Structure 1
């Protein structure tokens, strides 16, 4: 624990104070996610079309060069998508042409394992026609190279904006994940990162104007490009670059102090300076074409040779636009456009509110849970409180050591752990009580209590760990934060129970030498419980089945209100700069923008409102365009507090991941319980779990709450919790099955449930208290999660008794063990001493 305190301590220090610590300790702290401290999480996708276009143009140029080099006449050299066609004029030269192009179609080795890639395949057609197709492997290789290059460029651009706290990493094969923390202009950031910023300098073709070229035919050595003006102006431009962005040494934005005219100053390397000097000497009186992403940024006239490779170019940008342009050119060009496919932005004000609300909820939850444990266990409750506090320190140490990012769902996970952490202590304490009542000395009761509770605690918590692992691989950073804190919390609390709690109890035993359990322990009130749970199983099972059918029908017909995670679109929280938010006004103003259906509703704080924009259906860029329109329309009257924009590609992936996650968790848990128990137990656990999932989905249909990734996290956590409770009851049933081989199964099940009733009630109570604190004090963002968890814990506790247990009877767990005489009478009396009574 001393080591845990040392590792966790840097979280209480400022950045300046941490910098004075040893290097191994200075980095030991939990990073706060964008939703806690404010910032943006952006996911960019490399445009495959740009890579295909670049490969196509290069392939056309390579084919032209090879055929000219071999003096082979050709015509109709054109490219379309991934195919290039060319017709050899002389049919007798077709074989020679194929031979000349063989270097382009040859396979080459790639990768560590000796794999081969063929960039082009060649097909021979009729009348000298050749078709060369760019392979998928070649395109994939180009995307991988573009991703590696883009990572470096993106980092330089973000650093150039002055953002201090950020991260850039590859995501999958064609995406780049960017986090920028603090107060940032996210629209400016996206604009700077989206642009390839490929600069080139060519000559204007003076043989005709751009308008004349569009009206007729222009030379094959030129092409028509448009300016950045509004409306754009066409220019006829040579196809050959003689300077590119790679020749730039320095670029700066320049603003004339008097005229406020904006220009870009540049300095070229020696190669670029020499080329510019040569071109300007030969073409005085003509115009240069300075291109930015294949658009004419400027077309200055050459009045004199430019021999020093330095100068300024007037641009029609604002001062900020010129600075951004200079920044992009200094950072280097991207090999392809980066399209924003997902955006999650939180203002620093909302982040601070969410963090404060999470801390308050955690404090309230800890006070309530420790208070309840003290009320029932007195001295042992105080030990539990100490163990809980040190468990939280240990959780913080683990998260710090692994460099975890604490998100808002992660804070919710810690609050949830406060409620669930006492479960292991309750199981141990109740085992100690049973051992003491069975006649063992108090010392032996403590030793046996910890030993006999170990496997039960292990089995019960493995299910939650499985759910956390599945959650981690669902793909969202916020949900991953919850999964990490949940898993760390479960592992550390179990560890603390069998190390720290046991040490404190043993130390107390050795110093005070108590001969019996403290008399002020209050859980004895459950000893007299002899509830006939199975007596009403047919009624509860029927009601549960009816509710489940209604929930499934509702889900199939009405459906859940899918959030942007699964349906795509935008989800925005706004706050009125003055007075109250007006949902009707917001809807009316946004409806005029032609961006589809608009939903707006006021939150508990009258000055804030939630706005939902439907998926646009026009691809990834359409979602961002709609969000830009919303910002522009509401910016004067509202502060944008949080933004979630999910494009169709990401929403589809998240839907698949969530579905597979739920099915995968059920399959793994089924397998685990099947291995640890008889098959009937596994079937019962899965039926009870399905019951909980179906009713929770019915809650979403009934209330109309948004169903998003956080909802999936809640459902998987409910699955883990429900099975945790079910496994504890099953474990006691398994013990009693071995002990009372002829006892009627319904009576044995009732006895097992009654024996574990104190644990069921206390664990459910502490978990519900923690969730209630989270629901009341955790803030608007996390309240839906807490509400669903409240419902799920209640349903999960019910299903452990009235669904999982009756299934065992239905599947005849022990059909040959029921003796007709035993149906009337069970010889062994005593409900909680290990000898159940009728």
Structure 2
């Protein structure tokens, strides 16, 4: 095993060099990297919004507006095809509850002719992926009293929504590109949502207005001879509607669109030559110019309304025919609003209304603080892990540290190669990987010591140490990998970033711990040929330890049962301090620019805004404050208005907005359900894996141990009042993986000793197994805790709940693997035999096996 073939050596060196090469671009500017030869990697990590600032919006197609608009169109088309084309008298009403229109004929004898005419309105909506394959959008029928109906099918609505999402993405991309931003992310999520992330764009309100505004521009003739007020009092004339105007009044206009904004080819901000006020000039294509000329020629002296998203921007009197195909839109524009309207018109109208169901924005100053804190946490976590390994293993600690450095380099290189986005939780995943990566090397080194103590030669000890440790290393890391995969699919944004770095860290750990560490030790042994193989420099756990853990099993299990019941009871009484991820609402982090913040002043300022329950609390430094706003009645639009009012009120008090998170009730409910399902799926997948790898008692023992850890962690959240958010789910799944990691190491040793010592009583065998792995437990736990403590001190408040729960989880997971997972095997009848069978021989074997 220590003799590597040339091919294997080349492959190992090639992997290490590639990892370094893909990491290097992250330490140079984009301008410097651009000048490199083409054969060198140039892709660097993309910093997430929480590290460089920017805006994150999750938009959802408004289903109700699509149905309402489609029914309006259907009603208009039905009236046209019946009355105008076929001369069939009718009265049409809308049955919104059943997504249909109802047609009452003035002459019932024309029912068959009317039904045949309505069939011509059928529309087949095709799937963009399968041309020619589509569904009927309409279904026709009649009511019990003989009225005809035309309604929207469920399949047609869903297919139209899917098509509108694809169209909306293109419009959004055009709008964002018009803003001049770099590297925006625009992705489809599910059937009716679009995710937009724009790094470095600080004005989230402006971004929201530009992206979510439908910007449907239409031109209508104003109804002559009657005002909107008169129409409201006397009744609307046929074919008209009332829309609000820019000046606060209303306008009575024809509902037929005289000309649509789709004919526009250009729109630019400009200034009115007479008033010098900002306006928007527009230009039609040839067909639009002809139509515009015909309309203005036929209606000189009449008013012509320019309507944007069902609001009349302006309604001037046509003074003379306009045949040039261009015009201008006047209104109460500022320079910025005129520019934004021009951007919207150039990019085109959204085909459907989009609601903002989730908003997250981070200011550049907070992003810089997060990068600084994450870097400090990473450096301290790395240095503490390196020093700890040097103290524990000396020269072999140097080998482990070389593998650790290559491990982190390969994680960063892989993230760069994939073009992955690095988030603050992603940095936490890398720091956590540092703490957990030494686990594999500790298992290997301790196994080498065991083999050496059992009388094997140096080479045999090294070979046996690596081969015998791999079973525990593989099983323990696969369980954590399963948790990371589930996290990736159930999470979003930062949680996915954490899952990616954790998964990559596990894979690179398996590679570096076995192949690279073995390669380094093999080369060293060939060069030095030491007579004595000194593995450990400092012995934290004495050899031949015989701690009677099983003697305390009843006390430990009783204490765990009491704590578990107390955790469930307290959870039922106090509940969890749910973050906005799960209960909806808005969270706004602000920083006072003139010294320490005054929460009392903030409460007084916000009390007059009538926003319901508003919580104000210190957050991080004395200058920082976190404000939480409950879900507002009136839906997502009202929530956005509330957030805007808070930021405007605090800006007047010299507070800078550093972060905004707004989650709708719809998304929060979905997150809660998805998180519960994801947690269950992860646990089930892990336990199925253990069931196949071990006997059924081990899987059941892992179930009990895992439930114990999850229940106590939930109790920890309930007792401390730490905010429970989406990163808390990530913490619980990571705790599950870490706890099972510990449990599997002990179980693997139990399984090995069951084959090796067939006549040793189960209680004694469990004691032997725990004691023989105690060195690994004592060494791995502190390294992970050191990394987590560095994150707790320097990682920032945003991941505080994640880190604190992880620290608790590491401690409770270590405890449960010894005092819950192992003793439960006794009660499951793993090995039903007499307690004593040749005790002297058993004791001798135990002495030889203990480390």
TM-score range, shorter chain: over 0.9
CA distance in structure 2 between the aligned counterparts of 1:134 and 1:782, rounded to whole angstroms: 47
The residue number in structure 2 matching 1:75 is 90
Deviates more, 1:307-316 or 1:406-415: 307-316
Cα deviation per residue 1:494-550 (whole Å; 9 max; x = unaligned)? 101111111110111111111332276333743131100010111111111111110
The residue number in structure 2 matching 1:537 is 553
Question: Do residues 783 (structure 1) and 800 (structure 2) align?
Answer: yes
Shift of 1:779: 1.9
Question: Do residues 624 (structure 1) and 655 (structure 2) align?
Answer: no
CA distance 1:209–1:350, shift in 2 (3 Å): same
CA distance in structure 1 between the aligned counterparts of 2:107 and 2:66, rounded to whole angstroms: 33
2:760–2:842 CA contact under 8 A, matched in 1: no
Shift of 1:125: 3.0
The residue number in structure 2 matching 1:676 is 693
Question: Do residues 265 (structure 1) and 281 (structure 2) align?
Answer: yes
The residue number in structure 2 matching 1:208 is 226
2:216–2:349 CA contact under 8 A, matched in 1: yes
> Which of the numbers 95, 108, 112 marks the counterpart of 1:91?
108
CA distance in structure 1 between the aligned counterparts of 2:85 and 2:55, rounded to whole angstroms: 55
Shift of 1:266: 1.6
CA distance in structure 1 between the aligned counterparts of 2:528 and 2:275, rounded to whole angstroms: 89
CA distance in structure 2 between the aligned counterparts of 1:337 and 1:106, rounded to whole angstroms: 21
Q: Which runs of 5+ in 1 are unaligned?
A: none
CA distance in structure 2 between the aligned counterparts of 1:519 and 1:92, rounded to whole angstroms: 100
CA distance in structure 2 between the aligned counterparts of 1:475 and 1:788, rounded to whole angstroms: 18
The residue number in structure 1 matching 2:440 is 424
CA distance in structure 2 between the aligned counterparts of 1:616 and 1:187, rounded to whole angstroms: 18
The residue number in structure 2 matching 1:166 is 184
2:618–2:626 CA contact under 8 A, matched in 1: yes
Shift of 1:19: 2.5
Question: Do residues 715 (structure 1) and 732 (structure 2) align?
Answer: yes
Give the SS at the match of 2:185: strand
- 1:377-526 pair list within 5 angstroms: 377-518=393-534, 521-523=537-539, 525-526=541-542
1:388–1:418 CA contact under 8 A, matched in 2: yes
CA distance 1:76–1:26, shift in 2 (3 Å): farther
CA distance 1:807–1:127, shift in 2 (3 Å): closer
> Which of the numbers 683, 687, 693 marks the counterpart of 2:704?
687
CA distance in structure 1 between the aligned counterparts of 2:445 and 2:391, rounded to whole angstroms: 14
2:759–2:837 CA contact under 8 A, matched in 1: no
2:436–2:784 CA contact under 8 A, matched in 1: yes
Question: Do residues 40 (structure 1) and 55 (structure 2) align?
Answer: yes
The residue number in structure 2 matching 1:729 is 746
Deviates more, 1:564-573 or 1:77-86: 77-86
Shift of 1:63: 2.0
The residue number in structure 1 matching 2:149 is 131
1:19–1:26 CA contact under 8 A, matched in 2: no
Supply the RMSD in Å over aligned alpha carbons.
1.9
Shift of 1:258: 8.5
Question: Do residues 217 (structure 1) and 230 (structure 2) align?
Answer: no
Give the SS at the match of 1:284: coil
CA distance 1:520–1:131, shift in 2 (3 Å): closer
Shift of 1:655: 0.4
CA distance in structure 2 between the aligned counterparts of 1:801 and 1:245, rounded to whole angstroms: 71
Question: Do residues 66 (structure 1) and 84 (structure 2) align?
Answer: no
1:74–1:86 CA contact under 8 A, matched in 2: no
The residue number in structure 2 matching 1:633 is 649
Cα deviation per residue 1:625-673 (whole Å; 9 max; x = unaligned)? 2111111111122000111111111101110111011111111111111
2:103–2:149 CA contact under 8 A, matched in 1: yes
The residue number in structure 2 matching 1:283 is 299
2:724–2:801 CA contact under 8 A, matched in 1: no
How many residues of Structure 1 are paired with residues of Structure 2 in the alignment?
Answer: 832
Per the normalisation by structure 2, the TM-score is: 0.95
Give the SS at the match of 1:594: coil
CA distance 1:107–1:206, shift in 2 (3 Å): closer
CA distance in structure 2 between the aligned counterparts of 1:677 and 1:390, rounded to whole angstroms: 33
Cα deviation per residue 1:134-169 (whole Å; 9 max; x = unaligned)? 111111122112111111111111111221231111
The residue number in structure 2 matching 1:767 is 784
Shift of 1:726: 0.4
CA distance 1:696–1:814, shift in 2 (3 Å): same
Shift of 1:27: 5.0
The residue number in structure 2 matching 1:745 is 762
CA distance in structure 2 between the aligned counterparts of 1:594 and 1:398, rounded to whole angstroms: 50
Cα deviation per residue 1:404-427 (whole Å; 9 max; x = unaligned)? 110000000100111000000000
2:731–2:806 CA contact under 8 A, matched in 1: yes
Shift of 1:744: 1.3
Question: Do residues 371 (structure 1) and 387 (structure 2) align?
Answer: yes
Give the SS at the match of 2:502: helix
Cα deviation per residue 1:50-104 (whole Å; 9 max; x = unaligned)? 2112321222233223324662523211223221111122222212222222333
The residue number in structure 2 matching 1:18 is 33
Give the SS at the match of 2:844: coil
> Which of the numbers 265, 270, 274 marks the counterpart of 1:254?
270
2:487–2:678 CA contact under 8 A, matched in 1: yes
CA distance in structure 2 between the aligned counterparts of 1:55 and 1:704, rounded to whole angstroms: 48
1:548–1:695 CA contact under 8 A, matched in 2: yes
CA distance in structure 1 between the aligned counterparts of 2:503 and 2:769, rounded to whole angstroms: 29
1:255–1:319 CA contact under 8 A, matched in 2: no
Deviates more, 1:302-311 or 1:52-61: 52-61
CA distance in structure 2 between the aligned counterparts of 1:126 and 1:293, rounded to whole angstroms: 38
2:568–2:715 CA contact under 8 A, matched in 1: yes
Question: Do residues 315 (structure 1) and 335 (structure 2) align?
Answer: no
CA distance in structure 2 between the aligned counterparts of 1:474 and 1:318, rounded to whole angstroms: 44
CA distance in structure 1 between the aligned counterparts of 2:132 and 2:769, rounded to whole angstroms: 62
Give the SS at the match of 1:833: helix
CA distance in structure 2 between the aligned counterparts of 1:519 and 1:105, rounded to whole angstroms: 80
Cα deviation per residue 1:557-604 (whole Å; 9 max; x = unaligned)? 210100000011111111002121111111222121111111111234
CA distance 1:494–1:520, shift in 2 (3 Å): closer
CA distance in structure 2 between the aligned counterparts of 1:170 and 1:388, rounded to whole angstroms: 37
Deviates more, 1:728-737 or 1:257-266: 257-266
Shift of 1:47: 0.9
1:420–1:766 CA contact under 8 A, matched in 2: yes
The residue number in structure 2 matching 1:333 is 349
